[in-house]
A and B are shown apart, each in its own frame.
Chain A
Amino acid sequence: GDSVTQMEGPVTLSEEAFLTINCTYTATGYPSLFWYVQYPGEGLQLLLKATKADDKGSNKGFEATYRKETTSFHLEKGSVQVSDSAVYFCAFYGQNFVFGPGTRLSVLP
Chain B
Amino acid sequence: DSGVTQTPKHLITATGQRVTLRCSPRSGDLSVYWYQQSLDQGLQFLIQYYNGEERAKGNILERFSAQQFPDLHSELNLSSLELGDSALYFCASSETQGFTDTQYFGPGTRLTVL
Contact = CB atoms under 8 A, between A and B. Distances in A.
Contact of A43 (B42, B56, B99, B105): B105
Contact of B100 (A32, A98, A102): A32
A43 B2 contact: yes
Given A32-B99, A32-B100, A93-B99, A45 B45 contact: no
A65 to B, nearest CB: 17
A43 B106 contact: yes
A44 B88 CA distance: 12
Nearest to A89: B43
Q: Which 3 residue pairs of A and B lie closest in terms of their CB atoms, listed nearest first?
A: A43-B105, A97-B45, A93-B99
Interface of B: 2, 4, 33, 42-45, 56, 58, 90, 92, 99-100, 102-103, 105-108
Given A43-B106, A49-B100, 12 more contacts: A41-B107, A43-B90, A43-B105, A44-B43, A44-B92, A44-B103, A46-B103, A89-B43, A93-B100, A96-B58, A97-B99, A102-B43
Contacts of B58: 96-97
Interface bin, chain A: 10 to 19
A92 to B, nearest CB: 9
A44 B99 contact: no
A13 B102 CA distance: 29
Report which residue of A43, A46, A89 has the largest number of chain B beta carbons within 10 angstroms of its beta carbon. Answer: A43
A107 to B, nearest CB: 22
B90 A96 contact: no
Given A96-B58, A101-B42, A42 B107 contact: yes
A62 to B, nearest CB: 15
